[in-house]
């Protein structure tokens, strides 16, 4: 049994959707590790709520101003921390309490926790949630990798390949509570798209496909960039897009399952793509660009189709072709590759590999 302190994202409170896929990842990771008999404490922004599956975990919260998201800054931007920032408050608490834990597990894609790694008395691990978006973070990840790469894990190989690492990466994928996603055998003539409504998600390409095919596109997700959402709406005929808002998982999966296909159009090196697997768990095939995590999750012809990045014509053709995919194989793929139990096992194996290794770093509590 390990006592693990999980430190959440410094963007938004858990349950708000502002943390993107990290929120669901945290739920899966905590619930999965609890099931394996570990003791979990979650440290997150004020107002955070833990999912019922994490009820046995302790929740500590801190007030503070959100970090600006790295996705929306220049690659060479300086490291900034706002006055009254949440990030340093989370880490002040984590450092003050570290002796009560066997390890700390950071889910924030940010400089401060990476930089703190060799300074911590208790082993500090990082599940890196994005590919390369900023030079300052790249350098911090490389420094940790050179010091002890055992402290780093990634969601996909293509994400990890963005960074200069010292050794082959530890790739843990992701995991989902598949019992929460209902298989839907009979879809409606509806296209689906799920994600934060922000330019790096490429919603405009899915909208163009819907307009070209004359089919309705249902859209779920938090509007992060209202001007961008308005521009996408204006780019297609009225009534083509059906904006459904940001829904909790139970409702999202019930609606998403009715789609014939999910269109996934990342414009960046998406680390994993939670929504890709969530769709598959409902039996919905996924048509995506061959880019980032989705390129690794989709087995063309089995659970979806891949097309060259940014090729809207090929995307439309693949959406038409996707009717031939067996919805049951999509669900099967999720069960085989992305269960919560499997994810928790992989996370545990990663932590244990470093915590039990020989040398000055070995055994619980070792620093370096
Ligand atoms: N999501 C949700 N409700 C919605 C739309 C999205 O809960 O209506 C969640 C979805 O379950 C997923 C996350 O938002 O976990 C998006 O994560 P993803 O990895 O696809 O992208 P990110 O936002 O992290 O870049």
DSSP H or E stretch at residue 4: strand 3-7
Contacts of 335 (CB under 8 A, 6+ apart): 178
According to DSSP, the residues that pair with 154 across neighbouring strands are 128, 171
Are 102 and 355 contacting, i.e. CB atoms less than 8 angstroms apart?
Answer: yes
Coarse DSSP helix, strand, coil percentages of the chain, rounded to the nearest 5 percent: 40, 15, 40
Report residue 60 as tokens. 């500590």
Residue nearest to atom 21 of ligand 1 (CA): 21
Ligand 1 atom index nearest CA of 270:
25
Distance 133 CA to ligand 1 centre (A): 19
Of 224, 157, 176, 171, the residue nearest 197 (C-alpha): 224
Mean pLDDT of the chain: 95
Beta strands in 129-250 (DSSP E): 152-154, 191-194, 217-220, 241-245
Share of the chain above pLDDT 90, in %: 95
Helix, strand, or coil here: 231? helix
Q: How far is the CA of 25 from the centre of ligand 1 (A)?
A: 10
Ligand 1 center to 307 CA (angstroms): 22
Distance between Cα 274 and ligand 1 center (Å):
6
Question: Cα dist. 171→48, 134, 259, 318 in Å?
Answer: 28, 21, 30, 29
Interacting residues of 58 by C-beta distance below 8 A, sequence separation 6+: 40, 41, 42
Does the pLDDT of residue 48 top 90, yes or no?
yes
pLDDT in tens, 228-262: 999 999 999 999 999 999 999 999 999 999 999 99
195 C-beta closer than 6 A to ligand 1: yes
Tell me the per-residue pLDDT of 127-136, one tens digit each, with 9 for 90 and over. 999 999 999 9
pLDDT at site 364: 44
- How remote is the CA of residue 120 from the centroid of ligand 1, in Å? 31
The reported pTM is: 0.94
Q: From CA 130, how far away is CA 142, in angstroms rounded?
A: 14
7-31 pLDDT, tens digit per residue, is 999 999 999 888 889 999 999 999 9
Q: Is the CB of 180 under 6 A from ligand 1?
A: no
pLDDT digits (tens, 9 = 90+) for 69-124: 998 899 999 999 999 999 999 999 999 999 999 999 999 999 999 999 999 999 99
For residue 194, the CA-to-ligand 1 centroid distance in Å is: 7
Each domain of the chain, given as residue ranges in start order, spans 3-175+340-355, 178-337
Nearest CA to ligand 1 atom 8: 246
Q: What is the pLDDT averaged over residues 24-51?
A: 97
Collapsed DSSP state (helix, strand, coil) of residue 305: strand
Residue 196 Cβ inside 6 Å of ligand 1? The answer reads yes
**Atom 15 of ligand 1, nearest CA residue:** 21
Q: Is the CB of 60 under 6 A from ligand 1?
A: no
CB contact at 8 A, 48 and 63: no
Same topology, domains 3-175+340-355 and 178-337? Answer is yes
**pLDDT at residue 368 tops 70:** no
Q: Which fold has domain 3-175+340-355?
A: Rossmann fold (3.40.50)
Pocket test for ligand 1, best of 194, 262, 265 (most atoms within 8 A of CB): 194
Q: Enter the DSSP assignment of 154.
A: E
pLDDT at 359: 55
What pLDDT sits at residue 363?
Answer: 45
Residue 139 pLDDT more than 50? Answer: yes
Q: What is the pLDDT of residues 278-335, one digit of tens each?
A: 999 999 999 999 999 999 999 999 999 999 999 999 999 999 999 999 999 999 999 9
Farthest-apart Cα atoms in the chain, separation: 65
How much of the chain, in percent, has pLDDT values that exceed 70?
A: 97
The pairing of beta strand 58-62 with beta strand 103-106: unpaired
Q: Is 273 in the pocket of ligand 1 (CB under 6 A)?
A: yes
* pLDDT at 100 (0 to 100): 98
Q: Say if domain 178-337 classifies as CATH 3.40.50.2000.
A: yes
Sign, CA torsion 244/253/265/130: positive
Q: Which of 193, 165, 362 is nearest to 273 (CA)?
A: 193
Distance from residue 265's CA to the centre of ligand 1 (Å): 14
């Amino acid at each position: 049994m390990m006592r693990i302190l999980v430190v959440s994202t410094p963007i938004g409170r858990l349950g708000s959707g502002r943390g993107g896929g990290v929120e669901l990842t945290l739920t899966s990771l905590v619930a999965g590790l609890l099931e394996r008999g570990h003791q979990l404490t979650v440290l997150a922004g004020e107002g955070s709520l833990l999912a019922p599956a994490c009820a046995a975990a302790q929740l500590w919260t801190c007030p503070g101003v959100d970090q600006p998201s790295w996705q929306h800054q220049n690659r060479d931007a300086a490291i900034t921390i706002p006055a009254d920032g949440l990030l340093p408050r989370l880490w002040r608490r984590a450092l003050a309490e570290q002796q009560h834990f066997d390890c700390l597990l950071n889910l924030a894609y940010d400089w401060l926790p990476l930089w703190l790694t060799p300074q911590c008395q208790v082993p500090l691990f990082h599940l890196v949630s994005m590919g390369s978006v900023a030079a300052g973070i790249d350098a911090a990840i490389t420094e940790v990798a050179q010091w002890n790469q055992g402290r780093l894990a990634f969601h996909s190989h293509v994400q990890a390949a963005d960074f200069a690492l010292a050794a082959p990466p530890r790739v843990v994928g992701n995991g989902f509570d598949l019992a929460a996603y209902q298989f839907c055998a009979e879809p409606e003539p509806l296209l689906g798209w799920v994600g934060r409504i922000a330019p790096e998600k490429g919603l405009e390409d899915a909208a163009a496909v819907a307009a070209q095919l004359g089919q309705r596109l249902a859209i779920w997700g938090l509007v992060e960039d209202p001007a961008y959402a308005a521009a996408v709406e204006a780019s297609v005929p009225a009534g083509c897009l059906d904006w459904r808002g940001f829904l909790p998982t139970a409702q999202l999966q019930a609606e998403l399952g009715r789609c014939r296909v999910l269109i996934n159009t990342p414009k960046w090196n998406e680390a994993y793509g939670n929504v890709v697997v969530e769709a598959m768990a409902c039996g919905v095939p996924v048509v995506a660009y061959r880019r980032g995590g989705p390129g690794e999750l989709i087995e063309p012809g089995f659970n979806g189709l891949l097309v060259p990045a940014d090729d809207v014509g090929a995307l439309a053709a693949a959406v038409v072709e996707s009717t031939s995919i067996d919805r049951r194989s999509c669900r099967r793929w999720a069960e085989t590759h992305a269960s919560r139990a499997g994810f928790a096992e992989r996370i545990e194996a990663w932590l244990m590999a470093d915590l039990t290794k020989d040398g000055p770093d070995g055994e619980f509590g070792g620093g370096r």
